[in-house]
């Protein structure tokens, strides 16, 4: 159990376009989802926390108008990188958690999405 | 502000060695600590989770300990194998939240 998927697994886009990344909890309802960014050979940096049905909470330094997060259902959160630029190229990883399931103290991570902006 | 540091940053050992990876954190008010493995270009695989009230957890050849008061955790890998080669990340969950702060990672290479 506790499977989290991401789609797409990799995407290449032109500078100036917008890209949407989906994060789904497949076998549990995730009240909270998290989005992380990982640059090459660096650790994961939390970008934002999203709770189902409410606005996301962004970490300091993360532009909320650039990284749009929607958590419209208990199994789906989306991250849209608007007007992407080469410096947005990174590995984006989501995680999901729920206080209502076994392992409520854990976060379950998706496989990540590699974004390359040309 | 919670900061998580891992030492060493990189490690290369011959197959069969027992090894220790270190993780330190600045704020002891944590909810739990988790160790992950990340293969190149891949997501995270959870290895061990230690609650703040626990001292250690074991899974197979892996043993993780936690000393919350001193802000330290160690991951012990017994009889290392080439398949253990990966980056190992520790992460602490901030008390009262679901937020995790990740360490800088240790890149492990086990030579056959």
Record: contact B89-A43, CB cut-off 8 A:
yes
How sure is the predictor about B10, in pLDDT bands with cuts at 50, 70 and 90? very high
For A45-74, the pLDDT digits (tens) are 999 999 888 889 999 999 999 999 998 888
* Chain A contact present for B89, CB below 8 A: yes
Evaluate if residue A104 carries a pLDDT over 60. Answer: no
Q: Cβ of B98 and A32 within 8 Å?
A: yes
Residues of B in contact with A97 (CB under 8 A): 98
Give the number of other Cβ atoms within 10 Å of residue B43's Cβ: 20
Inform me whether the C-beta atom of residue B104 falls under 8 Å from chain A C-beta atoms. Answer: yes
Question: Residue A43: which of B49, B93, B105 has the nearest Cβ?
Answer: B105
Chain B residue numbers touching A44 (CB-CB < 8 A): 44, 89, 91, 102
What pLDDT does residue B41 have?
83
pLDDT tens readout for residues A20-49 = 999 999 988 888 899 999 988 788 999 999
Residues of chain A whose C-beta is under 8 A from some C-beta in B?
A: 6, 32, 34, 36, 41-46, 49, 91, 93, 95, 97, 105-112, 114
Asked whether the beta carbons of A34 and A101 are under 8 A apart, the reply is: no
Task: State the CB neighbour count (10 A cutoff) for residue B22.
Answer: 15
Which of A53, A93, A90, A59 minimizes the C-alpha distance to A75?
Answer: A53
CA A112 from centre of chain: 8
Q: Report chain A's mean pLDDT, rounded to a whole number.
A: 89
Cβ atoms of B64 and B75 closer than 8 Å: yes
Give me the pLDDT at residue A102, please: 55
CA distance A30 to chain B (A): 12
Q: What is the structure's pLDDT at B98?
A: 76
Question: pLDDT, tens digit, for every residue of B33-89?
Answer: 999 999 988 888 889 999 999 999 999 999 999 999 999 999 999 999 999 999 999
**Interface contact flag, B46 A109, Cβ < 8 Å:** yes
CA distance A15 to chain B (A): 22
Q: Residue A105 pLDDT > 70, yes or no?
A: no
Res A100 pLDDT > 70 = no
> What is the per-residue pLDDT for A10?
95
Question: Are the beta carbons of B42 and A108 separated by less than 8 Å?
Answer: no
For every residue of B25-39, which 3-state class applies, written as one string? ECCCCEEEEEEEEEC
What is the gyration radius of the CA atoms in chain B, in angstroms?
Answer: 13
CB contact under 8 A, B34 and A106: yes
């Amino acid at each position: 159990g506790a499977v989290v998927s991401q789609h797409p697994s990799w995407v290449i886009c032109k500078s100036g376009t917008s890209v949407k990344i989906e994060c789904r909890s497949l076998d549990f309802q995730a009240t909270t989802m998290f989005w992380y960014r990982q640059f090459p050979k660096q650790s994961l940096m939390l970008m934002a926390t999203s709770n189902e049905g409410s606005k996301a909470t962004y970490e300091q330094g993360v532009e909320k108008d650039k990284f749009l997060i929607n958590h419209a259902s208990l199994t789906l959160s989306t991250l849209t990188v608007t007007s992407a630029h080469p410096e947005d190229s990174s590995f984006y990883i989501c995680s999901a958690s729920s206080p209502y399931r076994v392992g409520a103290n854990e976060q379950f991570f998706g496989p990540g999405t590699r974004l390359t902006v040309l | 502000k919670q900061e998580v540091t891992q030492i060493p940053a990189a490690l290369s050992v011959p197959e069969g060695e027992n090894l220790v990876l270190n993780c330190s954190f600045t704020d002891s008010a944590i909810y739990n600590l988790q160790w992950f493995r990340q293969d190149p270009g891949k997501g995270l695989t959870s290895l061990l989770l230690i609650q703040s009230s626990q001292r250690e957890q074991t899974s197979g050849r892996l043993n993780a300990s936690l000393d919350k008061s001193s802000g330290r955790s160690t991951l012990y890998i017994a009889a290392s194998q080439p398949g253990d080669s990966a980056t190992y990340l520790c992460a602490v969950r901030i008390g009262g939240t679901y937020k995790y702060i990740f360490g800088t990672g240790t890149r492990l290479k086990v030579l056959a």
